[in-house]
Amino acid sequence: MPATVLVLVETINDYLPILEHQGFHLILAPTPTERSQAISTYGGKIEAVLTRGPLGLHAEEIAALPNLKIICVIGAGYEQVDLQAASDRGIRVTNGAGVNASSVADHAMALLLALVRDIPRADSAVRRGEWPKIMRPSLAGKRLGILGLGAVGMAIAKRAANGFDMSVSYHNRQVRNDVSYDFCPTPTELARASDFLMICTPGGLGTQHLINKQALDALGPHGFIVNIARASVIVTADLISALEHRRIAGAALDVFDAEPQVPDALKALNNVILTPHVAGLTPEATQGTVELVGQNLLAFFSNRPLLTPVELPPAIRRAMR
């Protein structure tokens, strides 16, 4: 009998036949209402869940799925998946680290170019019949700081260094001995060493609020910040204040604290570019992530090693009553 997979992701329908052709039975539940109904109606049949980081899978939902065996996360981040609850039940978790790195890096560089060169405002002015001659900085020769030098950060670094002649620095949990880029020991020191600061680190408690007022002040009034990672990495109130008072030059954001809600204060600013969490949404990346999910599912249900397992915390043994 084919395994039943609950699909919570809303952007991959065109590629779900990949999983169906592999023999999996899919239950689609992309909205909160459908999600709740699917878990209530089919909870006993669901053996796998396909989700993404911000959608996650919560402890009470895991408890309502008695036959759940594996959670597959689209993309690298899994910050809203309750890893402790999964570990306690012996449920495996996988992610899609690295699959969409090229697409995310492309979007990050597009945001940086549009922000620094002020493309949206120039476009709007021409459409209004205006012809402003606004002088904006160049990217060539500037200093790029990358917070989180994983697959996405590396893809951005290569584009910046090789395509735009930028110098690259980074901050990571650990120094990477396989790169020649300069390591900065703290996020604030990275910001101080940067003209442009790219946020590429995963979300979650380990990276929450790494960028705060101190780091933004270190970036300075001529500095720009781009976030294609998770909004939780930046203190949003501190960012808004820095933008409003021009303590930094501008920001481009693809991620927000309460998606799809975006603070009105950000919408009102003319030194901000906003996109709706689409950095990784390309046909190539989406197909690749779904294919990886299929490979992980086939491996799991065939008792073979997972391709991209997520490390789980130790299970908590609860005393018997």
Pull the structure tokens for residue 110: 């597009």
Sequence-separated (6 or more) residues with CB below 8 Å from residue 174 = none
Which position among 20, 244, 259, 284 bears the catalytic label? 259
Q: In the chain, helix, strand, coil percent, each to 5? A: 40, 20, 45
Tell me, yes or no, if 311 is annotated catalytic: no
Burial (Cβ within 10 Å: 0-12, 13-18, ≥19) of residue 283: exposed
Instruction: Give the span between the Cα atoms of 83 and 111, in whole angstroms.
Output: 32
Closest CA to 146 of 160, 129, 135, 165: 160
Phi, psi of 244 (to 5 degrees): -65, -40
Which position among 52, 171, 192, 277 bears the catalytic label? 277
Beta strands 250-253 and 224-227, pairing class: parallel
Helices 101-116, 119-127: axis angle to 10 degrees equals: 60
Q: How far is CA 133 from the centre of its chain?
A: 36
* Inter-residue contact 247 to 222 (CB < 8 Å): no
Instruction: Give the span between the Cα atoms of 43 and 215, in whole angstroms.
Output: 45
* Inter-residue contact 280 to 103 (CB < 8 Å): yes
Q: How far is CA 89 from the centre of its chain?
A: 27
Tell me, yes or no, if 259 is annotated catalytic: yes
Closest CA to 184 of 195, 198, 168, 199: 168
Tell me, yes or no, if 277 is annotated catalytic: yes
Give me the active site residues, please.
230, 259, 277
